[in-house]
């Protein structure tokens, strides 16, 4: 609690509010003391009016008037004459005189603080101006103990009230900070942790939505950093894979080009009738070399952007794939079946989903064409509460053992002769960006089936 931002903010708010209340307390207690003394002067003046009305007062009545006023003596100066209006015995000598007519704010504050720290009961003289211009001045003598007790009582109430105000204010600010600052910051931290756990998952890239300008700027900066880092990681992974395959590619390419060179030499140096038979082999060898080089360079330079998520009609995407591949199949006895429910909507990047399914369907079609027997390729999809599943199944001869062992590995996972395996590697990478996976569900003499798994939700914890 104390180590959290909101906890420390709560403590600091309480301390600062209490400090503000203490600064307010000093002039407040000084004002209370002034009001107390002025009240005693006013009471004394009212008591003295009884004597003006009747020059002779009984001793008991005079004592009662002084007791009600809370003073020992009352002196009133009228017309330059100083007159002792009411009097009673003073228990001790007068210690200090306070002239309220000449008091300044600083002196009042100093007198108040001294009054609070002095526990000894003293007799003081207080001089002030009579109310309603009833004379030149009024002077009273009084004890300080009742004044100090009243000041302490007032001070305690002020401090208790200040403490309540501080706590309530701090709690309100605590809740406000939790809602408007801590929660958005925690959201940013969650995005960072999720991204660190799976940098290839594009759902971990933060989407700026903070209402606070500074937080939104931080979110936008984090989004830019995550996007650039994701692309850099993909590029590094591809370069690493490319580097590992360079030796094998060089070896295979050298053999292919050597064969082509031999055929070329034979053509150039001889009028042998076998030229017509060797010419197609020469063309095929060179074609294989060029195809392998182009595929390698394309994979090494590819920079896949992060997917743009939206709900897309998947059946329409599969319709486009089927039409395209049927044209590529030509006269081959291959049938492509779209078994996707008409109303099925997937959340993902339409272009990237097209490329993924296209790669799987194309691999299946090419495998059927190679057999010369034809067959069918079926694309279907289903969903439940947690995910969508896309299935691509064919009736081909199945994948060879080497292809199964190196699925999704560039330059090693090709299922047909001359294939590079880049299609499956790219498909797996694109689906990882959606937070999903591509897997081989089954393969054998009865056919092969791949499954694409796409989780629902936005990937939050």
At residue 348, the pLDDT reads: 93
Q: 394 and 370 share a domain? A: yes
Specify if 73 maps to a domain.
yes
* pLDDT band (50, 70, 90) for residue 186: confident
69 found inside a domain:
yes
Identify whether 182 is part of a domain.
no
Is residue 141 helix, strand or coil?
Answer: strand
pLDDT at 279 over 80: no
* Domain shared by 236 and 156, yes or no: no
**pLDDT tens-digit map of 320-333:** 899 888 877 777 78
Distance CA 192, CA 204 (A): 8
CB-based contacts of 3: which residues, under 8 Å, 6+ apart?
Answer: none
pLDDT at residue 107 in the model:
87
- Quickly list H helices, 201-349: 213-269, 275-301, 314-329
Q: Which residue has the tokens 């001045």?
A: 137
The pLDDT tens digits of the residues spanning 398-426 come to 888 878 877 877 655 455 544 556 678 88
The structure tokens 């909507």 sit at 345
**Residue that wins the pLDDT comparison between 80 and 53:** 80
**Strand ranges for 13-136 from DSSP E:** 73-78, 81-86, 94-99, 123-128
This prediction's pTM = 0.49
Do 326 and 333 contact (CB within 8 A), yes or no? no
Task: Specify the number of domains making up the chain.
Answer: 3
* Position 376 in a domain: yes
CB atoms within 10 A of CB 4: 11
Residues 383 and 443 in one domain: yes
The CATH number assigned to the domain holding 414 equals 3.30.565.10
Cα–Cα distance measured from residue 428 to residue 452, given in angstroms and rounded to the nearest whole number:
9
Indicate if 336 and 370 belong to the same structural domain.
yes
Task: Look at residue 380 and tell me if it is in a domain.
Answer: yes
Residue 98 has phi, psi (to 5 degrees) of: -115, 115
- Residue 38, CB-side half-sphere exposure with 13 Å CA sphere: 12
The per-residue pLDDT for range 141-163, each reduced to its tens digit, is 888 888 889 888 988 888 888 77
Same domain, 392 and 281: no
Kindly state whether residues 298 and 314 are assigned to the same domain: no
Is residue 61 domain-shared with residue 123, that is, in the same domain? yes
Q: How confident is the model at residue 2, as a pLDDT?
A: 57
| Residue 312: predicted pLDDT | 94
Angstrom distance (rounded) from CA 455 to CA 450: 17
Nearest CA to 45 out of 118, 123, 126, 107 is that of 126
Which range, 194-198, 297-301, 320-324, has the best average confidence (pLDDT)?
A: 320-324
211 and 119 together in one domain = no
My answer on whether 151 and 15 are in the same domain is yes
| DSSP annotation of 305 | P
Contact 453, 346 (CB under 8 A): no
Cβ-contact 163, 394 below 8 angstroms: no
pLDDT at 57: 53
CB 127 within 8 A of CB 137: yes
Give me the chain's average pLDDT, please.
77
- Per the CB < 8 A criterion, the answer to whether 397 and 372 are in contact is no
Query: Which residue range is the domain that position 329 belongs to?
Result: 310-455
Tell me the residue ranges of DSSP E strands in 277-427: 310-313, 334-338, 345-348, 375-383, 387-394
β 375-383/387-394 pair status: antiparallel
Residue 174 lies in a domain: no
> Which of 276, 306, 336 delimits the end of a domain?
306
For residue 66, give the nearest of 49, 85, 84, 44 by alpha carbon. 44
């Amino acid at each position: 609690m104390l180590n959290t931002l909101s906890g420390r903010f709560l403590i600091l708010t309480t301390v600062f509010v209490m400090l503000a209340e203490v600064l307010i307390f000093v002039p407040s207690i000084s004002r209370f003391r002034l009001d107390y003394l002025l009240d005693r002067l006013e009471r004394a003046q009212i008591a003295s009016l009884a004597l003006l009305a009747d020059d002779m007062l009984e001793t008991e009545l005079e004592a009662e008037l002084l007791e009600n006023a809370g003073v020992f003596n009352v002196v009133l100066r009228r017309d330059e004459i100083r007159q002792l209006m009411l009097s009673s015995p003073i228990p001790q000598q007068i210690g200090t005189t306070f002239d309220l007519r000449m008091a300044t704010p600083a002196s009042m504050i100093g007198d108040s603080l001294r009054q609070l720290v002095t526990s000894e009961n003293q007799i003081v003289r207080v001089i002030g101006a009579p109310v309603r211009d009833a004379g030149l001045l009024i002077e009273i003598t009084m004890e300080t103990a009742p004044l100090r007790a009243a000041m302490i009582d007032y001070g305690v109430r002020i401090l208790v009230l200040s403490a309540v105000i501080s706590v309530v204010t701090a709690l309100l600010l605590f809740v406000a900070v939790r809602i408007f600052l801590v929660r958005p910051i925690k959201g940013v931290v969650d995005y960072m942790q999720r991204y660190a756990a799976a940098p290839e998952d594009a759902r971990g890239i933060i989407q700026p939505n903070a209402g606070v300008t500074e937080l939104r700027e931080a979110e936008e900066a984090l989004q830019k950093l995550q996007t650039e880092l994701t692309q850099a990681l993909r590029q590094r992974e591809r370069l690493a894979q490319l580097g590992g395959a360079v030796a094998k590619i060089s070896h295979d390419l050298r053999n292919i080009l050597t064969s082509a060179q031999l055929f070329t030499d034979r053509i150039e140096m001889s009028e042998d009738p076998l030229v017509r038979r060797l010419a197609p082999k020469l063309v095929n060898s060179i074609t294989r070399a060029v195809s392998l080089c182009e595929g390698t360079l394309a994979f090494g330079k590819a920079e896949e952007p992060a997917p743009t998520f939206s709900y897309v009609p998947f059946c329409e995407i599969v319709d486009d794939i089927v039409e395209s591949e049927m044209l590529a199949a030509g006269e081959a006895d291959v049938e492509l079946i779209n078994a996707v429910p008409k109303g099925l909507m997937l959340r993902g990047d339409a272009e990237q989903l097209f490329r993924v399914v296209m790669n799987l369907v194309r691999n299946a079609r090419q495998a059927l064409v190679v057999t010369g027997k034809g067959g069918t390729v079926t694309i279907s999809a289903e969903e439940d509460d947690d995910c969508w599943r896309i299935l691509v199944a064919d009736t081909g001869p199945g994948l060879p053992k080497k292809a199964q062992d190196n699925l999704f590995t560039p330059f090693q996972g090709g299922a047909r002769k001359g294939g590079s395996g880049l299609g499956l590697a790219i498909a797996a990478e694109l689906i990882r960006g959606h937070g999903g996976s591509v897997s081989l569900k089954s393969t054998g003499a009865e056919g092969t089936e791949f499954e694409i798994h796409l989780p629902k939700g936005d990937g939050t914890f």
